[in-house]
Amino acid sequence: MAGKGGVGKTTVTATLAVAAARAGLSTLVVEVEGKSGLASCFGRPPLGYEEVELWPGGGPHGDADVRARTITPDEALLEYLEDHGMRRISHRLVSSGALDVVATAAPGIQDILVLGKVKQLERGGPADLVLLDAPAAGHAITFLQSARGLVDAVRVGPIHSQARDVLDLLTDPARCQVLLVTLPEETPVNELVDTAYQLEDRVGVSLGPVIVNGLYPDVHGLDADPEVAAAAAGASLRPGEAEALRAAADFRRHRMALQREQLGRLEARLPLPQVHLPFVFNADLGLPDIEMLADAATAGIEALPEGAVVP
């Protein structure tokens, strides 16, 4: 999952995790930037490097579970060294403070450590689906481009092999798809379109459906006069209420016209199917909100044309 900061990427990640689990896919969510708020959507404490259960399976329709964890470059490097019989070196790196020097020794090395661990989880983990809550759009491009850069820069050795394996994962549409998230607003749509073409051209990833988050639902009766409507319903309005209702209706008409315009722009500039999620009128999202969004996501995915999503 990738998208401009503030478009609800983490919320969408949580939503799709629940939708996938309801479809019977055990799902692992991987967080790479920390403090994203994903765990709080499920009423859980902040995530750590060890996997934890966010959403239990065993529902009435054979739901699977949702698990989650973080991956940081430092922890991924230490685990890599210990797995390859270099426990002493890993402890010395920690005690000497030289870990940052090693992790930043070459451009992209930190990103490839994280992606290498994701690749390991995808290949050997127990989950049917791994959802990666990627960095915001600008960093997402360099993050995903790190493998190709290292394959070109480092010709032999374990770093080359790791980068090659990660690149194979990223460019195989049967194993990996990038889903971009946006709001129905001008700047997020512009940035999403630019990001989409850069990811295809520079990284070679396959793009899945675009997730348009925060759509205001249609409301009927916005053109009705509040005083006439109240009289027809046998009610009366207090002083000032008619003006407030007219202003609210005008705002809603403007907002819906704006989102129709932006959805049209997005469709014209980027030939990808769209999945729409409704705006949630809650300041702090909780599990009931995520489950409601998962219902909408499932309906949107089921309505996509055949072949739009990898089975």
What pLDDT, in 10s, does the model give residues 144-175?
888 888 888 777 887 788 889 999 999 999 99
Burial 197-235 (b: 16+ CB within 10 A, else e): ebbeeebbbbbbbbbbbbbeeeeeeeeeebeeebeeeee
163 and 147 Cβ atoms separated by less than 8 Å: yes
List, in sequence order, every beta strand (DSSP E) within 97-148. Answer: 129-133
Q: Per-residue pLDDT for 12 more than 90?
A: yes
Closest CA to 262 of 1, 5, 7: 7
Q: Is the pTM of this model over 0.75?
A: yes
A 10 A CB-CB count for 48 gives 15
* Tens digit of each residue's pLDDT (9 = 90 or more) over 84-122: 777 676 667 666 666 566 666 666 778 888 999 999 999
* 37-50 average pLDDT score: 91
Sheet holding 2-3, edge to edge: 2-3, 180-182, 210-215, 274-278
pLDDT digits (tens, 9 = 90+) for 192-217: 999 999 999 988 999 999 999 999 99
* Residue 270 to residue 286: CA distance in whole angstroms: 32
